[in-house]
Structure formats: C-alpha cells, structure tokens
C-alpha cells in the first residue's frame, strides 16, 4: 500500500511531461483521408519511439491497406508489457486520428501548437483522443519505474476512429482476434463525465434515413395542376412521430432512457414563394434501444410511407444513410467494470455508475467480437470544438486510475 502511495507521488510530478507529450502529439497532425489528410503515420512513428524507450515485450504495427493514405496503409500500434499467459491482460485503447480544426477564426491560438493556460492544455486533439494516449502511456511508464509487480499491460493506438474505424479497430479486431482473450479487461478512454463518474457499457443502434418525396411542381395559383410534396413531408413527419409510441420501451441504463426518432435536416426546395414544390428531401435520426431490431423500424417507416403515398398520390423513396446496429452490452457486473469502479473510487473518491449512450463508440467493435469493453475517462465535453482543451489534473488522475488497474492484484 505504501508503495502504491509512492507511485501516486511520482505521477503528481508529471505536469511537464504531460505538456511535452501533448505538444509533440499535437504537432504531428493525424487526419484521415476522409478528413483531407494522409493518415496517422507521423504520430504513430512518434508513439512507437516512445514505446521503444519503455522496452515492451510486444510491439507491432498492424497496417490496414488504404490506397488514399501515405504509403498505402493506415498504422495501428500494439504494445505489451509482461506476458503471463494465465492471467488476463489489461488493455487500454486510444485513437490517434483527430478531426480538422474547423473555422480557424474561432480559435484563440494555432490549433496544432499547444498552448498552456494554468491547468489547461489547448490544441486540436488534446482531449480527443490524446488525453487517452498520454494517460495510458504514462501509466505504463509509472508502473515500470515503480518496480512493483504488475498485470500484463497492453496499449493499443488505432487509426481511423473519427471516420468509421474501417482502417482502425474494425480491421484490427478482424485480423488479430487471437490477440485478445475473453477474460481480458479492455478500456477505451474516449468518453466520460467531467468528474470521472460514468462508465459506458452499452449503446443504442443508430439509423439515419433520407426521405425523398416526389410529386409535381407547378405554379402556386393553380395547385390542381401539380402535386405538392410539402403536404407529403408534413404528413410523413406526423406519422414518424408515432414511432415514439410504437417503440416506447424504457431502459434506465440509457440516457435518455428511451429510443429517439428526430426529423433533422430538410433540403432546400423551390427558390420562390409562388411555386409548389415537386420534390422534397428530409432526414430522420433514430437512436434505438438494443431491444428493438433496426429492421423492425425500417418496416414500420416503410408502411407509413406507403399509406401516405397512396393517400396523396406521391412517390416516397427511403434511403438508409447510416446504420450501426447496437452490439451486445458489456454486463454492468463484468470484471472490467468492477475493476474500473475500484480504481476510480481509490483515485477520485467517487462511486462510478454505468451508462448506455445514444451514439456508437469504437468499443462496439470489441463487443461485436465477443469481448467486454468499457468506455471511461475523466472527460470534458470539448471534443471537435474550437479551442479544444484538457485539464492537466484530469490526466494525472487518469494516469493513476490506469496505474491502479495495472497493479490491481485481484485481477
């Protein structure tokens, strides 16, 4: 116990190291081709160099082919320390890619040059997801330097989280499934609460639908010569609101506890007031509790569209723009959840609770492959925003939480 106290005292001295690490990562811009970049190579090379300094027992790069990226591939890094085959590995997975800075006029300083303001580090990527990269890497370093006996520790740094994970975790899990054992503890520090009290274990299915309503355009003074698609849109939106009643199951694990069905974007139709539109396009964003099958929702929606088509003599096409079916949830009593709760309690003094969320997370690729993964970090809601920042004390806490998990001898 005294030894554990010493390692925490050492971690408390990491401020300068955190700032330096964040600066080096931030200037190595890791944008995927879908975001106008060439991939994560420079950042990956830097991380590999850091890992090499820590003498890992395993260190390899999994290259997922992507002809649009530098050298035709996207890098994914795996490192491991300690190799006791009989015991579970504690894995922490972070992602290297970032999103573009967006409107530069909204930034108070250059996005790729870290600025420090008191306890805040400001720059693109410092929170999402360099917070995870830095806290997990420095936790391994602290544990190694402590000389204490540790669990098998694994760090994974993936590409392509921001644009679908096809070249990142999805590829890695598909091609390296034997890397993981069912009883391994997998933590993804890419979501959380500002006080570190939330552990994400489940997600809703995500379904984005595009509705194209076709009628007949004409002059507004002679509506009988056309067929106004806006009436179809209005009727359809009223019908779609009934999805809430038809799929009204509530599960308190989730926030909000029910499925959501929200009409969102509507495309511009006619440019002038005196024309009746003959084509209208709008979108529906659905976040559906895992008890419901996405196909059921699609059937319900199609039926509603069929009714309105018949009644108003319109043609309604429905396209699925995005679909991510929910994976099996990580049980709230899974070992990874229990161990995380213990570590969070010890470091931060808070009783963490489990949550399901509305958006898909990268953890679902583990869950779909049959592994329990928990998403946790001390997280401010600043990802993807201008002037993205992280708090140094939060990173220090998270280093201590990961170090506690690496040292937890009940695992």
Instruction: Using the rule CB under 5 A, give the single segment among 10-18, 114-122, 138-146, 187-195 that binds Zn ion.
Output: 187-195
Helix axes 130-146, 392-407, angle to 10 degrees: 50
Instruction: Using the rule CB under 5 A, give the single segment among 129-137, 151-159, 257-265, 387-395 that binds Zn ion.
Output: 129-137
Q: Under the criterion CB under 5 A, does residue 129 sit at the interface with Zn ion?
A: yes
Q: Decide: residue 38, CB within 10 A, 0-12 exposed, 13-18 middle, 19+ buried.
A: middle
The minimum distance between CB 267 and Zn ion, in angstroms, equals 29
Side-chain half-sphere CA neighbours of 166 within 13 A: 9
* 3-class secondary structure, 383: coil
Active-site residue, selected from the candidate residues 40, 127, 160, 161? 161
97 catalytically annotated: yes
Rounded to an integer, what distance in angstroms lies between the CA atom of residue 43 and that of residue 58?
A: 19
Q: Under the criterion CB under 5 A, does residue 184 sit at the interface with Zn ion?
A: no
Cβ closer to Zn ion: 129 or 378? 129
Do strands 198-203 and 353-357 pair parallel, antiparallel, or not at all (unpaired)?
parallel
409 catalytically annotated: no
Active-site residue, selected from the candidate residues 40, 97, 128, 162? 97
Cβ closer to Zn ion: 320 or 322? 322
Residues 7-46 that bind Zn ion (CB under 5 A): none
Cβ closer to Zn ion: 66 or 190? 190
Going by C-alpha positions, the residue among 185, 177, 186, 189 that lies closest to residue 87 is 185
Cβ closer to Zn ion: 301 or 375? 375
Beta partners for residue 199, in sequence order: 354
Rounded to an integer, what distance in angstroms lies between the CA atom of residue 152 and that of residue 79?
A: 11
Cβ closer to Zn ion: 7 or 96? 96
The minimum distance between CB 366 and Zn ion, in angstroms, equals 15
The minimum distance between CB 309 and Zn ion, in angstroms, equals 41
Instruction: Rule CB under 5 A: choose which of 66, 128, 280, 398 binds Zn ion.
Output: 128
The minimum distance between CB 43 and Zn ion, in angstroms, equals 14
Q: Under the criterion CB under 5 A, does residue 190 sit at the interface with Zn ion?
A: yes
Spell out the residues 6+ positions from residue 349 whose beta carbon is closer than 8 angstroms to its own. Answer: none
The minimum distance between CB 339 and Zn ion, in angstroms, equals 22
- Contacts with Zn ion by CB under 5 A: the residue count is 3
Q: Which residues bind Zn ion (CB under 5 A)?
A: 128-129, 190
Question: What are the residue numbers of the active site?
Answer: 97, 161
């Amino acid at each position: 116990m005294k030894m554990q106290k010493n390692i925490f005292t050492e971690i408390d001295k990491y401020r300068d190291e955190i700032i330096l690490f964040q600066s080096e990562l931030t200037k190595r811009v890791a944008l995927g081709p879908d975001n106008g970049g060439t991939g994560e190579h420079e950042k990956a090379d830097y991380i590999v160099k850091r890992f090499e300094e820590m003498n890992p027992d395993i260190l390899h790069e999994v290259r997922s082919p992507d002809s649009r990226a530098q050298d035709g591939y996207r890098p994914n890094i795996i490192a491991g320390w300690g190799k006791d085959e009989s015991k579970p590995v504690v894995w922490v997975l972070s992602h290297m890619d970032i999103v573009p800075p967006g409107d530069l006029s909204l930034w108070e300083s250059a996005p790729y040059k870290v600025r420090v303001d008191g306890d805040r580090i400001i720059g693109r990527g410092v929170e999402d997801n360099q917070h995870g990269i830095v806290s997990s890497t420095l936790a391994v370093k602290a544990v190694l330097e402590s000389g204490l006996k540790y669990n098998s520790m694994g760090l994974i740094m993936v590409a392509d989280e921001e644009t679908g994970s096809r070249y990142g975790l999805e590829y890695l899990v598909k091609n390296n499934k034997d890397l993981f054992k069912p009883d391994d503890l997998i933590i993804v520090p890419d979501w959380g609460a500002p006080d570190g009290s939330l552990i994400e274990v489940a997600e809703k299915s995500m379904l984005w639908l595009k509705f194209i309503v076709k009628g007949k355009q004409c002059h507004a003074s002679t509506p009988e010569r056309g067929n106004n698609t806006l009436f179809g849109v209005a009727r359809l939106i009223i019908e779609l609101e009934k999805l809430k009643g038809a799929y009204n199951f509530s599960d308190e694990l989730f926030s909000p506890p029910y499925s959501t069905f929200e009409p969102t974007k509507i495309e511009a139709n006619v440019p002038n007031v005196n024309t009746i539109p003959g084509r209208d396009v709008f979108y529906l964003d659905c976040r559906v509790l895992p008890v419901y099958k996405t196909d059921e929702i699609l059937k319900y929606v199609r039926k509603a569209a069929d009714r309105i088509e018949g009644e108003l003599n319109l043609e309604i096409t429905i396209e699925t723009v995005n679909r991510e079916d929910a994976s099996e949830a990580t049980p709230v009593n899974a070992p990874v959840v229990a161990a995380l709760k213990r570590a969070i309690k010890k470091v931060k003094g808070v009783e963490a609770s489990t949550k399901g969320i509305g958006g898909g997370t990268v953890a679902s690729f583990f869950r779909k492959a049959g592994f329990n993964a928990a998403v946790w970090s001390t997280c401010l809601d600043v990802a993807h925003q201008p002037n993205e920042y992280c708090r140094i004390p939060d990173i220090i806490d998270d280093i201590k939480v990961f170090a506690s998990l690496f040292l937890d001898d009940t695992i």
